[in-house]
Amino acid sequence: MFDPQAKGSTPRTEIIAGLSTFMTMSYIIFVQPAVLSMTPCGMDHGAVLVATCVSSALATFATGILANYPIAQAPAMGHNFFFVFTICGLMGYSWQVALGANFISGSLFIILSLFSFRARIVDAIPQSLKSAIAVGIGFLIALVGMEWSGLVVGQPGTLVKLGDLHSAPVLLSLFGVLLITFLFAIRVRGAILIGILVTAFAGWLLGLVKFEGILSAPPSVAPTFMKLDILGVFRSGRFADILMVIFVFFFLDLFDSVGTLVGIGERAGFMVNGKLPRAERALLADAIGTVVGTLFGTSTVSSYIESAAGVSEGGRTGMANMVTALLFIFALFFYPLAKMVGGAVEYGGLHLYPVIAPPLIIVGSMMMTSAKSINWEDYTESVPAFLAMIMMPLTFSITDGIAFGFISYSLIKLLSGRGKEVNAFVYIFSALFVVRYVVARG
């Protein structure tokens, strides 16, 4: 089925590649339940872990079988924060409605897999805004990590200030950041996963982390399985808001998946005349993973750039994905460990997550590399990009960051006499964002 020999690989190499990919991306097994179970979302921790593992395994299997690529799938970082803090937090929707909107977005993704419309959308968005959105999400993820570590706390007047550097949770988080950074610097596979486990062990020694065990039967998925509320999406009465939610889900998934496929494809030598063969099949598997994830109870599933670890080990076929997917299923039996890692620590009236915070800060920093693609000398490109990236952490909203980027880009180009450089698609959604602010929040 996979024919690794024809791709210059061997079954042994593919197995090692699949294991390497899992090691580098398996931190999501600990992070995703911690993020979606917190207020204001409040989903069941154990059920989210099951949903994460099952949807990741199915989407990874699908990518390997349909496209024969060693590109694994899992709930995407950034999408989960949009799910919790923007949709459930700022907009006030229930997580059931958020899952319903995500289901619609994933279904739309599947339908458009039959056409070339997605490629047109990718081409319509200026590169500066694509890069800025990635950077802005990175800023938001890092900010959450710093808040969860206690490194940054609330302060009347200035809104934020430096936390207590003498507190054990802050020191534990800083230890985790330094450890993961060091492991990355010396090119250790699975640096984030190893950093999480070592930080958790250090927290247990300090009495901050409660030992819950290592192995157990998988928790029940019943609290989130088939609990999505699709009809609630249409009953909300806030058409502009819900349309933006579906658009942002679709938008983020599209660019994450396309960007990852192209990046991994170039690194692995899959590209042919600048195009990735069987790309539509890989994108279809991505969309199937998102839909399955909403049915089980987790946010958008997308291709993971961490698959580069497997490619660097020589992985060239979907056989590597079979290994990665099986390991996600095996991870279901490590729920006590995930519960211990994602547990909150009370300190000074705050609920801190010193074990999960370090990987969030590191992942946020990794997303900063996209800033180099922005033309900072052209103010019609750089200012809208800056507004998009800075508004995400300051408003705690990915949607508002995208809105400010789109609207300012359209207006500045028009006022500069360069309106023809803007695709009609950008103008349309800029207008919809304006309507959302005028009508929905008027």
Q: What is the pLDDT of residues 36-72, one digit of tens each?
A: 998 889 999 999 999 999 999 999 999 999 999 999 9
Which residues does 310 contact at the CB level (< 8 Å), separation at least 6?
Answer: 17, 18, 20, 21, 70, 72, 320, 324
Task: With a cut of 90, say whether residue 327 has pLDDT above it.
Answer: yes
pLDDT of residue 442: 41
> 249-269 burial, b if ≥16 CB within 10 A, otherwise e?
bbbbbbbbbbbbbbbbbeebe
The 10s digit of each residue's pLDDT in 252-303 is: 888 788 888 878 888 888 888 877 888 889 989 999 999 999 999 999 999 9
Which residues does 270 contact at the CB level (< 8 Å), separation at least 6?
Answer: 69, 264, 276, 277
pLDDT of residue 406: 94
pLDDT of residue 119: 61
The 10s digit of each residue's pLDDT in 63-100 is: 999 999 999 999 999 899 999 999 999 889 999 999 99
The count of structural domains within the chain is 1
Over residues 409-421, mean pLDDT: 95
Distance (Å, rounded) from C-alpha 419 to C-alpha 196? Answer: 48
Q: Which amino acid is at 46?
A: G
pLDDT of residue 173: 97
Over residues 413-428, mean pLDDT: 93
**What is the Rg, in whole angstroms, of the alpha carbon atoms belonging to the chain?**
21
Query: Which of 365, 128, 134 is closest to 260 using CA atoms?
Result: 134
Strand pairing report for 350-352 and 345-347? antiparallel
Give the whole-number percent of the chain exceeding pLDDT 90: 64
Distance (Å, rounded) from C-alpha 16 to C-alpha 190? Answer: 13
Q: Which amino acid is at 271?
A: M
At CB < 8 A and 24+ separation, what contacts does 406-410 make?
406/129, 406/430, 406/433, 407/433, 407/434, 408/383, 408/384, 409/126, 409/128, 409/129, 409/380, 409/381, 409/384
| Summary mean pLDDT of the chain | 91
Query: Which of 2, 16, 56, 7 is closest to 309 using CA atoms?
Result: 16
Name which of 239-243, 342-346, 373-377 the model is least confident about: 239-243
CA distances (Å), origin 72, targets 9, 150, 221, 320: 18, 33, 23, 9
Task: With a cut of 50, say whether residue 246 has pLDDT above it.
Answer: yes
Give the whole-number percent of the chain exceeding pLDDT 70: 97
- The answer to whether the CB of 290 falls within 8 A of the CB of 302 is yes
Over residues 180-198, mean pLDDT: 92
Distance (Å, rounded) from C-alpha 341 to C-alpha 252? Answer: 28
Q: Which amino acid is at 242?
A: I
- Count the Cβ atoms, other than its own, within 10 Å of residue 161: 11
Domain interval for residue 127: 4-440
Q: Which pTM does this prediction carry?
A: 0.84
Of residues 122 and 395, which shows the higher confidence score?
395
Whether the upstream peptide bond of residue 126 has omega within 30° of 0, thus cis, is no
Distance (Å, rounded) from C-alpha 56 to C-alpha 301? Answer: 7
CA distances (Å), origin 3, targets 22, 44, 285, 430: 22, 41, 20, 47
Task: With a cut of 60, say whether residue 441 has pLDDT above it.
Answer: no
Q: Which amino acid is at 111?
A: I
Distance (Å, rounded) from C-alpha 256 to C-alpha 2? Answer: 25
Task: With a cut of 90, say whether residue 348 has pLDDT above it.
Answer: no
Query: Which of 87, 136, 117, 139 is closest to 300 using CA atoms?
Result: 87
